[in-house]
Amino acid sequence: MATPAAVRIAERELLLYRRIWRENVIGAFVQPFLYLVGVGVGVGSLIDDGGDRAAILGETSYFAFYATALLATTAMFNTSQEALWPTMDGFRWSNAFRGMIGTPLEPRDLATAFLLTFGGRALVTSGGVACVLALFPSTRSLGLFGAVPAAVLCGLAFAMPIAAWTGSRDVDNTFPAILRFVVMPMFLFGGAFYPVEQLPRALEVIAWFTPLWHAIELCRGLVLGGVDTGSAVGHVSVLVSYIAAGWLACTIVFDRRLRP
């Protein structure tokens, strides 16, 4: 009983995760490797041979430019999906969360446990991507050790607000729309495939306010160099703000949903 309540809830999720961790870890290696081969190597070879690549990316190859973004995007996709249907199960289908609140646990403990659980999932997936990037000379850098925590922050910046939304829903009919019209557009326009400076000005400004752009810039800068202390602090501050707002929203929504 001396263990913090949020840790006890996270321990339950860990026990469940032990049944599927092998598939999750394998996916964390295989999926980014396929992306790197298909986009980073395949498309990258076409872009690197073009005359405008140096003017846009400088000395950075397209492979390295895209590969470093995978740290953030993989964490985003993984935790966003975990914050939807698996979280809905605890509220609606299995009612596991309501059973927890029937004990001395509080809704805020559940919200804090989500930080630990989603953070752990993001650590596994982004760590797998980092291991793959370490195989290639252009992305083999000590900055990977800092980029992995940055990717974890990215995963949490998406998971916590989405979990709050999930907690307010009785059905899952809006979940595909979140992936299609929120997560996927950020993936396409958040700076993973090209610098956001290539976008129309209005879209570029919108990209500045998205957590994915800040995470990609932070991961890319840490691995390839070029991120100064001020920029790094700014990127981290934005990500932490999204996480804090998401946690606060979770505590409010969970309290309303689970209190008798």
pLDDT value, residue 56:
63
Domain boundaries, the chain: 5-258
Which pLDDT score is estimated for 62?
82
pTM across the whole model: 0.91
The reported pLDDT for the residue numbered 15 is 80
pLDDT value, residue 220: 95
pLDDT tens, position by position, 182-213: 999 999 999 998 889 989 999 999 999 999 99
Give the pLDDT confidence score for residue 51 in this predicted structure: 56
Q: How far is CA 152 from the centre of its chain?
A: 6
Instruction: Report d(CA 241, CA 157) in Å as an integer.
Output: 8
Query: Which residue ranges of the chain lie beneath pLDDT 50?
Result: none
Q: What pLDDT, on the 0 to 100 scale, is given for residue 226? A: 79
For all residues of the chain together, what is the average pLDDT? 89
Per-residue pLDDT, 144: 96
Predicted pLDDT at 49: 62
How confident is the model at residue 130, as a pLDDT? 93
DSSP annotation string for the chain: --S-HHHHHHHHHHHHHTTTHHHHHHHHHHHHHHHIIIIIIIIHHHHHTSTTHHHHHTT--HHHHHHHHHHHHHHHHHHHHHTTHHHHIIIIIS-HHHHHHTTT--HHHHHHHHHHHHHHHHHHHHHHHHHHHTTSGGG--TTHHHHHHHHHHHHHHHHHHHHHHHHT-SS-TTHHHHIIIIIHHHHHHSSSSS-GGGS-HHHHHHHHTSHHHHHHHHHHHHHHS---HHHHHHHHHHHHHHHHHHHHHHHHHHHHHH--
User: CA–CA distance from 227 to each of 170, 216, 235 (Å)?
Assistant: 43, 11, 10
